[in-house]
Amino acid sequence: MLLRQADAPGDFTLTAQFLLAGLDDNSVLRQTRTQDISLEQIADNWEPSSVASLPGEPTSVPSTARPAVTGECTT
């Protein structure tokens, strides 16, 4: 719904699925446990991808406006 309201290009459903796939719990656990990728790296790289999917000039929320990523993934 937000992508539609923002008049984002492309297929709204596929774009939303693409953005959410990067936050899938199995994917994040694999990245943090076996690929030595930090939660901060995942968050920092997800943000530009989500911003790039919107129309207009690329803008970004400063990292300081996001809550800090702390802790470790556990299941």
| pLDDT tens for the chain, residues 1 to 75 | 677 777 777 777 888 888 888 889 999 999 999 999 999 999 888 888 777 777 766 555 555 555 555 556 555
Opening angle at CA 43, ends 56 and 47, nearest 5: 0
Q: Would you give the end-to-end CA distance of the chain in angstroms? A: 31
Distance CA 8, CA 53 (A): 7
Where exactly are the structural domains of the chain?
Answer: 2-65
Predicted pLDDT at 60? 53
